[in-house]
Chains A and B, each alone.
Chain A
Amino acid sequence: MKKETLLQMHYMMLKIRRVEERILEIFAQGKIPGFIHVSIGQEAVPVGVCSALRPDDYLSNTHRGHGQALAKGADLKRFMAEIYGRKDGYCQGKAGSMHIACNDLGVIGSNGVVGGGIPISLGTAFASVYKGNDRVTVCFFGDGATNEGTFHESLNLAALWNLPVVFCCENNGWAEFTPQKVHTKLENLSIRAESYGMPGVTVDGNDVLIVKEEAEKLIARARKGEGPSLLECKTHRWFGHFAGDAQKYRSAQEIEEVKSFDPILKFQKLLLEKKHLNPKDIEETEAKIKSEIDEAVAFAEKSPIPGIEGLLENVYT
C-alpha cells in the first residue's frame, strides 16, 4: 500500500477522533442542541471501509455516523455547521448530528431509526443496476440493527436481486444500553449472511488495514456484479449511547479495558515501526487537524441560526 494512502487513513482516523472529542466539549457547554452519539473507539471501521470506496459510491450512515460521513469526504465546515443546527450545514440545520446527508458525496443520510437505513440502501444499489453503472452502496448499521425486521427483509432481497451492496455491521457490542450477549445468541453476526445466500465475514474492526483489505474484496465483488455481502467489524464503543449517558449499565473496569483496543494507537504504532511516521509528523498532523477543527467551529458559530422563513420550506417541492 502506498505511504500516502496509509498516512491519509491515519489522518482521517485521528480527525474523526478529535472532531468528536471537540463536539463533546462544545455539547457540554450547551452550544449544540439535540442528541449527540459519538463513535470514539470505532474509527477504523468507517476509515477502512471508505478508503476502499470511490467518490461516486453511495454510503448509508447511522445515528452514530459522524465518522462515516467524514471518512466519505464530508466537508468539515458544513458538517460542523449542521451539528450546530446552522443554515450553512449540509441540511440547512434541519438534520443535526443524527441525520446528516451529503448528496454530492453519495452520503444518503444518517438515520435516527435503528435499521431504518438498511432498506433505503437497496434503492441506491437498485438505481445503479437500473441505470447500468457500477456505483456500489455501503450500508452501515450496528449490531442492534441486525435484530430489526428490516435487516432480514433487506438482506434477503439484496441477495435475491444480486444488488451491489456491502452491508457493514459496525459491531461495538452494544445495542444502545444492552450488551450483545443480552440481545443476540450468536457471537459472530456475519454467519447470518449464509442464510441469505451471500458471503459474510467477521474481522477485527480495530485494525484499519484488515477492515480495508476485506472491504476492498467485497466492494470489488459487488462492483463486478457478483452481489451483496455482509462485513462484520468488531469494535468498541468507548462512550455511552449518547453524549451525557452516565453508563450505569456498564462496569468502570470494562469502560477502561476497551481503551486498550484503541484503533488509532494500534495503527500509529505500526506506522512508526515502519518509519512511515515519526513523532514529529504526528504532532504536525494533530496541529493541522486542530486548526481545521478551529476553523470549522468558527464557521459554524458564525453561520446564521435558521429563521422562521425556512420552517415551511421543503415539505414539498
Chain B
Amino acid sequence: MKEVRYIRAITEALNEEMARDESVFVIGEDVAYPGGSFSATRGLLEEFGERRVKDTPISEAAIVGLALGAATQGLRPVVEIMFMDFLTVCMDQIVNQVAKTRYMFGGQYQVPLVIRTPCGGGLNAGPQHSQCLESWFAHVPGLKVVMPATPYDVKGLLKASIRDDNPVLFVENKALYGLKGEIPEEDYLVPIGKADVKKPGKDVTVVATSRMVHQSLEAARTLFEEGIEVEVIDLRTISPLDKETIFQSVEKTSRLVVAHEAVKTFGVGAEIAAMVAEEMIDCLDAPILRVGAPFTPVPFNLERFYLPNAEDVVRAVKKALAY
C-alpha cells in the first residue's frame, strides 16, 4: 500500500489506463499544457503527447459531442468539464445525445465515454462553481453516475469507468482533492454500482455520498462515544443504485438517514427514501430522514451555514433513534 491524495489517485488512474489502452484519450479545457484546472491531468501530455491529450477551446458542447462521435467509433474518450456547474452548457449533448445513442439507435453503438467533473462547495467558489447536480443526471436512463469519496475508490472507479462500454458521469469532489488515503501499489478496479460499508454498526444506517461520507464517519465517531453504533454506507455509485447493500443494512438497523451535500429537495436522498419506503416499510422503526443543503444557491461567503456537516448527521441520527 501507499499513501496518495485523491487528486493524484485520479492522475494515476488516467495514466495507467492510457498506458494500457491506446484508444483512451483525454480531452477538455486546460487539460494538456496546463495539466488541468485542479492538476488531475498533470504529466499526461509529457507521457502520451498531443495526439492523446487535447486542450480545447471553451466549448463544452463541442467537446462532449466530439467525444460521443469518437466513442461510437471505438475510442474511449475521457472528458474533463472544469466544474460540474458547467454541465449545463452541454446538457443537450449529455442528456439527449450521449445518454440516448445506444438505446435510440437500437444498440448499434456502444458509448464508452467518461465525463469527469468536480462538484461541491467548501472553496467559497460561489453559486456557479459549487453545485452538486448529480440527481439531475441520475434521473436520465442511459447514464451511469459515479461519485467516489476516497483516494482508493476514486482510482478504482475511474479505471472501471474508462473500461465500461457505457457513458459514465464521474463526479469528483473538489473539497476532497487534497485528501490522503491508502491505495494498493498494484492494478485494481472498484466495480460500478456497488456501495461500500465504510463503517459497520447496528443502530442506524447512514447512506452518504462524496464529502458527506467523511462527515458521516465523523458523526459516527462522535455517536460511538455516546454508545450509538452507526453503519455508514458510502454509495460510491448513484446510478445504477446498489439497493441490495442499502436494504441489507436497513433490515439490520431499521433506521435510515441519507446524507448528501446537494440541496435536500428532490435529491438522491428522496429517491433512496422512496425506494426504502416502497419496498421495506415494515422494517422501519422511524421515519427516513435526509441531511442535505438548504434550498438556496450555494452562497459565496455564507457557505458555513449552507454546507451540511457532521453535526447535522448527528442530529438526524439522534432524531431517528428518539422516534
User: Which residues of B172-200 have CB atoms within 8 Å of chain A's CB atoms?
Assistant: none
Give the B-binding residues of A (Cβ under 8 A).
Answer: 89-95, 99, 101-103, 108-109, 111-113, 116, 118-127, 130-131, 149-150, 153-154, 156-157, 160, 313-317
| Extra inter-chain contacts (12) besides given A120-B72, A157-B66, CB under 8 Å | A93-B106, A95-B104, A103-B105, A116-B93, A119-B93, A120-B68, A120-B69, A122-B62, A123-B71, A154-B59, A154-B62, A317-B166
Report the separation of the CA atoms of residues A160 and B58 in the bound assembly, to the nearest whole angstrom: 13
> Which has the most chain A C-beta neighbours within 10 Å: B56, B62, B72, B142?
B62
* Interface segment out of the listed B94-102, B296-304, B314-322: B94-102
What does the 1/0 interface line of B57-100 toward A look like (CB < 8 Å)?
A: 10101111111111111110000000000000000110011000
Q: Is the CB of B65 within 8 A of A113?
A: no
Query: Given the complex, which residues of B lie within 8 Å of A92, measured CB to CB?
Result: 106-107
Give the A-binding residues of B (Cβ under 8 A).
Answer: 25, 51, 56-57, 59, 61-75, 92-93, 96-97, 101-110, 141-142, 144, 165-166
Q: Is the CB of B68 within 8 A of A123?
A: yes
Report the separation of the CA atoms of residues A120 and B68 in the bound assembly, to the nearest whole angstrom: 6
Minimum C-beta distance from A144 to chain B (A): 15
Asked whether A94 and B92 contact (CB < 8 A) given A123-B71, A124-B70, A154-B65, the answer is no
Q: Is the CB of B105 within 8 A of A119?
A: no
Report the separation of the CA atoms of residues A89 and B141 in the bound assembly, to the nearest whole angstrom: 22
Minimum C-beta distance from B165 to chain A (A): 4
Q: Is the CB of A91 within 8 A of B108?
A: yes
Tell me the nearest residue of chain A to B27, going by C-beta: A126
> Which has the most chain B C-beta neighbours within 10 Å: A91, A92, A123, A149?
A123
Query: Given the complex, which residues of B lie within 8 Å of A118, measured CB to CB?
Result: 65
> Which has the most chain A C-beta neighbours within 10 Å: B63, B103, B106?
B106
Give which listed residue, A101, A130, A157, contacts B57 with CB less than 8 A. A157
Q: Is the CB of B65 within 8 A of A122?
A: yes
Minimum C-beta distance from B21 to chain A (A): 13
Would you list the 10 A-B pairs with minimal beta carbon distance, nearest first?
A123-B69, A119-B65, A92-B106, A91-B106, A127-B73, A153-B59, A153-B62, A314-B107, A123-B70, A122-B66
Tell me the nearest residue of chain A to B89, going by C-beta: A149
* A and B contact pairs by CB, cutoff 8 A, 15 listed: A94-B104, A103-B105, A108-B69, A113-B92, A116-B92, A119-B66, A121-B65, A124-B72, A124-B73, A150-B62, A156-B62, A157-B56, A314-B102, A315-B102, A315-B141
Q: Is the CB of A109 within 8 A of B105?
A: yes
